[in-house]
Amino acid sequence: MREVVLDTMRLVERQAEQTSSRILFLVLDGLGDLPRYGDALTPLAAAKKPNLDLLARDGCCGRFDPVGPGITPGSGPGHLGLFGYDPTEYEIGRGVLSDVGIDFSLQPGDVAARFNFCTLDSDGYISDRRAGRIETEQNRRLVARLREIPAPPGVEIFVETEAEHRGALIVRGEKLGHRLADTDPQNTGVRPLPVKALDAGSKTTAKIVSAFVKAAREVLKDEPKANGILLRGFDSLPKIPPLSERFQLRPVCVATYPMYRGLARLVGMEMPPAPPSLADFPAVVRANREGRDFFFVHVKYADKAGEDGDFNRKREVIEEVDRLIPELLADGFEVVVVTADHSTPVAHKAHSWHPVPALVWAPGRVFRDSVATFSETTCIGGALGRMPLRFLMAEALAAAGKLAKFGA
């Protein structure tokens, strides 16, 4: 099935060296789109965005496949591609993404699972798998009580509210396997399944989780709705080598959404507090400038507008980001990249497989092609051509003077 091929990114790792030059990696989530009927414009093409156009004109453009031709990526694979990873090499499970999504700082070796509060009848049978969809505030109150359950020596247990009846359980300790079966039978009128290890290395974890479930039952016994928990999606962080190790970078993430902050954390980015609004992004970038050379700036709103099928709002998000550019760049960056993790065409109202547009600006360093404005259509004629997304990182590092010559 798999075959031996030289991936250029391994060579990029080998040739990477630390320098003082700074790369701004500005990601508009779901930016890529399709020309609409009539004027053949995309939201990006229709937007008034003099600053992005200037970067495109003085820079180098192209299109990038987040995973490969025809493949529609989730947010995980899309961001792995952005960060220079082969998205097929690391799979990020649902349980981990969920914890990543609540901004929990998951560490290598942690065992994470999602849970539902549920309703059990007097015989212990599940009568409602979602505990009547209790309010998030209720959830927080119950989670506070579950946090009081003592963990065995050498082990830490974290309980986190997600929303409504949903939460996350994290077990931290030495050598804990994560291969545990779901306790959620995905059915009512039956009992929760016992906590069961699926391999020998996960037996200790099973014992810890089993004791926790029993204690939780005791703690919750007088609750009218949420008197039990159902666990699923046990997983651990994939072992992803950090950007510092792979490319000698000192990266920082400026993002508001927990999911993307979590994905950045997976590749070892520093994580200042989330900016309260888009207008605060430049200040957070500036405040974290010292000692950093890679700035991942993530704007979620373009993807949301795409998912809602709202052409004008997507255009407006782009225009709003454009207005931030002068302030974002005020302190100077040797390289500026503007791109997306995937396309979310307004006509599809969903992620799609279409390559994303990208610009790399680095005066005197990149090939200044004839692309004069930034859009999916103009990028077709760009000097970067069409490539897998992970190679965009190689272009950025080279433009920043961070890749040594290969061979004599």
- Smallest gap from Cβ 329 to its own copies, in A, equals 20
Count of positions (residues) in the chain: 408
Decide: is 189 part of the binding site for its own copies (CB under 8 A).
no
- Smallest gap from Cβ 354 to its own copies, in A, equals 6
Decide: is 241 part of the binding site for its own copies (CB under 8 A).
no
- Smallest gap from Cβ 194 to its own copies, in A, equals 27
| Exposure on the CB side of residue 285, measured as CA atoms within 13 A | 28
- Smallest gap from Cβ 184 to its own copies, in A, equals 18
3-class secondary-structure state, position 246: helix
d(CA 403, CA 406): 9
Span between the terminal Cα atoms of the chain, in Å: 35
Helix axes 94-101, 258-266, angle to 10 degrees: 120
**Which range of residues in 146-154, 180-188, 248-256, 376-384 is near its own copies by CB under 8 A?**
376-384
**Sole binder of its own copies in the list 24, 31, 47, 67 (CB under 8 A):** 67
Binding mask 288-327 for its own copies (x = CB under 8 A): ----------------------------------------
d(CA 365, CA 363): 5
Residues 6+ apart with CB under 8 A from 98: 112, 114, 162, 168, 233
d(CA 195, CA 156): 18
- Smallest gap from Cβ 30 to its own copies, in A, equals 13
- Smallest gap from Cβ 187 to its own copies, in A, equals 23
Decide: is 163 part of the binding site for its own copies (CB under 8 A).
no
Binding mask 97-126 for its own copies (x = CB under 8 A): x-----------------------------
Helix (H) or strand (E) holding 304: helix 301-307
Judged by CB under 8 A, the chain residues 17 through 36 that form the site for its own copies are: 34-35
Q: Phi, psi (5° rounding) for residue 53?
A: -65, -40
d(CA 136, CA 129): 16
d(CA 117, CA 235): 19
Binding mask 351-370 for its own copies (x = CB under 8 A): x-xx---------x--xxxx
Closest by Cα among 92, 394, 363, 379 to 371 = 379
**Sole binder of its own copies in the list 11, 144, 163, 279 (CB under 8 A):** 11
Binding residues (CB under 8 A) for its own copies: these are: 1-8, 10-12, 14-15, 34-35, 40, 63, 67-77, 86-89, 91-94, 97, 347, 351, 353-354, 364, 367-370, 376-377, 380-387, 391, 394-395, 397-398, 403-408
